[in-house]
Amino acid sequence: MNRTIVAAIVLGRRVASLAWTAASVAAAAGAAVWFGAALLERRRQRRDITPAVPGREVRLAGRRVWLQESGPADSGCPTVVLLTGAGDQAASWVLVRRGLSDSFRVVGYDRVGMGFSDDLPGPRTLPGYVDELTGVLAAAQITGPVLLVGHSFGGLIAQAYAAADPNRVAGLVLVDAVLPAMSRSRAMRTGIAVDVAAARAFKALSPIGFTRALFAINAMPLYPEQHLLRAAASESEYRRWVGAMRAGFAGNAAREVAAVLPGAVHFQQSVTPFGGKVTVIHSRLLGTKWYRFQKDVAAQYPDSTRIFTGNRLHNIHLSRPDLIIGAVHDQLAL
């Protein structure tokens, strides 16, 4: 074989070997940088989400759950229990809690895998979430009636709990709640799939500060109400909310969002609706269909009131907390 050809082959192999080695080193360095960035981001998140209200850890099936309590220990009224939407944090109820805690005992919690609770995958079935709520009420030593205020997926959990133990529930306030019939709607299924994909993308990009940047410039697409909260909350409350939300997206938010549709299907198949007093507060999140779903569910409850926000903003507890506060006072006759 021609010496020139042999030399070229040898040189090519050396170049390929060096390129492979360089690529391996770059990949390892990139992985180390990514892992280090992820650790730093988690540390920043934990530093930023000091609890906004008094709280304590309780144990449920070996997992730690962060329980938040405010208001008088014995108000003479049912305890108000706040249930967050999928991937959301108890910190998001700050404005509603502020408006209720003077009159009522208010309890909220970060579900397992979220916020200050154990950073582990929590119960991702509707019965599992209902059992978790049952455990939280027991741990908080709430033995009397409760008024459940549930936003989005929290509204579905509230309805399922009320159906399972109607004698315990004084009423429901459903805030742009996920409804069982939504499981049959292609538009709703598509919307949930988009939210799951977005939450997964935010999780993947969190270690390099992507979600931090979105919150910093008020551009988080899942929370267009962010600027309204910033105007209404104190600086410390707002910082805690941002820190809690970043931690959620970096953690298990996507898994919770993925549990929404199966939960709606389960409810549709096996749960009997609650027969007590219900207030439905809703937006026009996905247009006419969302509006119709909310109107239909209010009609299914024999003792219901429906309140329309007049806009498409889903996080009503951030944009119109006054509607929720008023609904609680109306239900508890104060």
pLDDT in tens, 258-316: 899 889 888 876 667 778 899 999 999 878 888 988 998 888 888 899 999 999 999 99
Q: pTM for the whole thing? A: 0.83
First to last CA, the chain: 98
pLDDT of residue 120: 67
What is the pLDDT of the chain when averaged over all its residues? Answer: 82
Q: pLDDT-based confidence at 26, cuts 50/70/90?
A: very low
Right CATH for 55-331 from 3.40.50.1820, 3.10.450.50, 3.90.320.10, 3.90.226.10: 3.40.50.1820
Nearest-angstrom CA–CA distance, 250 and 42: 8
Q: pLDDT-based confidence at 155, cuts 50/70/90?
A: very high
Residue with the larger pLDDT of the pair 310 and 42: 310
Take residue 151 and report the two structure tokens written for it: 């936003």
pLDDT in tens, 43-102: 544 445 555 566 788 888 778 888 889 988 887 889 999 999 998 989 999 999 999 999
Take residue 180 and report the two structure tokens written for it: 């069982």
Is 70 exceeded by the pLDDT of residue 179?
yes
pLDDT of residue 180: 79
Q: How many CB atoms lie within 10 A of CB 281?
A: 26
Closest by CA to 295, choosing from 280, 274, 273, 276, is 280
pLDDT in tens, 103-122: 999 999 988 877 777 766 66
Residue with the larger pLDDT of the pair 43 and 245: 245
Is 50 exceeded by the pLDDT of residue 161?
yes
pLDDT of residue 243: 87
Is 90 exceeded by the pLDDT of residue 31?
no
Of 14-28, 83-97, 184-198, which range is least confident? 14-28
Closest by CA to 115, choosing from 197, 52, 205, is 52
pLDDT of residue 66: 84
Is 70 exceeded by the pLDDT of residue 325?
yes
Q: Where are the domains of the chain?
A: 55-331
Beta-strand relationship, 63-70 and 55-60: antiparallel
Q: pLDDT-based confidence at 12, cuts 50/70/90?
A: low
pLDDT of residue 28: 44
Is 60 exceeded by the pLDDT of residue 11?
no
pLDDT of residue 186: 84
